[in-house]
Amino acid sequence: MCDKWFASKQNLNRHKEIHSGKKLYSCTQCEKRFATQEYLRRHMNVHSSKYKCTECGKCFTGCQALTLHRKVHSGEKPFECTVCSKRFTQSSNLAVHSRIHSGEKPYKCHECDKEFCQSGDLKKHTRVHSGDKPYNCSLCDKSFNQSSYLQKHKRHVHSNRRPHDCRWCGKMFKSSRELKIHVYTHTGAKLYSCRHCSDCFRQRYHLKAHLLKSHNEGTWFTCHICQKKFNCGGSLKSHVLRHEGVKPYVCDECSKSFCTGAELKLHQLKHTDFQQFCCGSCGKYFKYKRSVVRHYRNCSLRLGFAAIFKCD
């Protein structure tokens, strides 16, 4: 596995746990898992640390780490990118960011030769090949290879809380990121521009699809059954499930199953009185987007005729 030597067989066996990919030791304070007891012990220092941020309660193993973290709350960002003027709290973050402009990707996957700007991104990517899913949902039996996927799963599947509302149409969202993406539909902002032509897009995945279709930049994901091509792995995965007849997303109310989380999410609206879509003309609320679109079209016509034939 590697050329490292150890003084005892016990230490060697502990080291082999790292190469096995299994993470048997879980933190009792959070959902993180670790390959060895030593890694878990180091992690536990975070929860018992005396270096605690008074603003958000986050703990750190040393004074220097806490000092750097406090810059997040103070807004202090002394390090500025010379290309796009974006500012950062740490020089290391600026160094990583600069790779976006230089195109440098020093971290390479040994399985598929895919390259990454950050070591953390490579580490997440390798789980695609190993099948390791260390982040387990405490509410169901699903597991994920990234903590962000676990948090998103909990937010979309196990929670109906939508604290973020759009000030233009009143639509509510479960995360600030979803709201930010939605606001682009009102403002018309297209932040993602193609480096080969003048086309701009509201969302990153629209730009990615454009680069593939128009400039042949990137990698197509091809179905091994029907040879249909997709511009993202998630779409291919959902497509293959339809071939196999697998429906992993099950409704808690009626046990009906679906191929994708989006289909389950749409179905679950049948079991709730929550109406998230609002007509901009009359203020009436609807459960489904298609319903408010159809209503808005007719509502706008009615209001237009009323204005034309109004008796003074």
**Residue length, the chain?**
312
- Determine the Cα–Cα distance for residues 37 and 18; give it in Å rounded to an integer: 11
Tens of pLDDT, residue by residue over 254-292, are 888 888 878 887 888 788 777 777 776 777 887 777 787
Give 180's Cβ-side CA count (13 Å radius): 6
Q: Which residues contact 120 (CB under 8 A, 6 or more apart)?
A: none
Mean pLDDT, the chain, integer: 78
Q: Which domain holds residue 21?
A: 1-73
Task: For residues 234-252, give the mean pLDDT.
Answer: 83
- Determine the Cα–Cα distance for residues 72 and 51; give it in Å rounded to an integer: 16
How far the first Cα of the chain sits from its last, in Å, is 88
Co-location of 170 and 233 in the same domain: yes
Tokens of 17: 């746990």
- Determine the Cα–Cα distance for residues 8 and 267; give it in Å rounded to an integer: 58
- Confidence category of residue 303, pLDDT binned at 50, 70, 90: low
Q: Which residue has the higher pLDDT, 209 or 152?
A: 209
Co-location of 23 and 62 in the same domain: yes
- What per-residue confidence (pLDDT) applies to 3? 67
Co-location of 93 and 69 in the same domain: no
Task: For residues 138-148, give the mean pLDDT.
Answer: 78
CATH of the domain at 81: 3.30.160.60
Q: What is the pTM of this model?
A: 0.41
pLDDT at 312 over 50: no
- Determine the Cα–Cα distance for residues 218 and 212; give it in Å rounded to an integer: 6
Tokens of 23: 């993470």
Give the chain's largest Cα–Cα span: 98
Core vs surface per residue 53-80: b (16+ CB within 10 A) or e: eeeeeebbeeeeebeebbeeeeeeeeee
Closest CA to 31 of 202, 150, 199, 158: 150
**pLDDT cut 70: percent of the chain above it:** 89
Q: Which residue has the higher pLDDT, 280 or 196?
A: 196
Co-location of 137 and 187 in the same domain: no
Number of domains into which the chain is organized: 3
3 state DSSP class of 132: coil
- Confidence category of residue 28, pLDDT binned at 50, 70, 90: confident
- What per-residue confidence (pLDDT) applies to 311? 43
Co-location of 103 and 142 in the same domain: yes
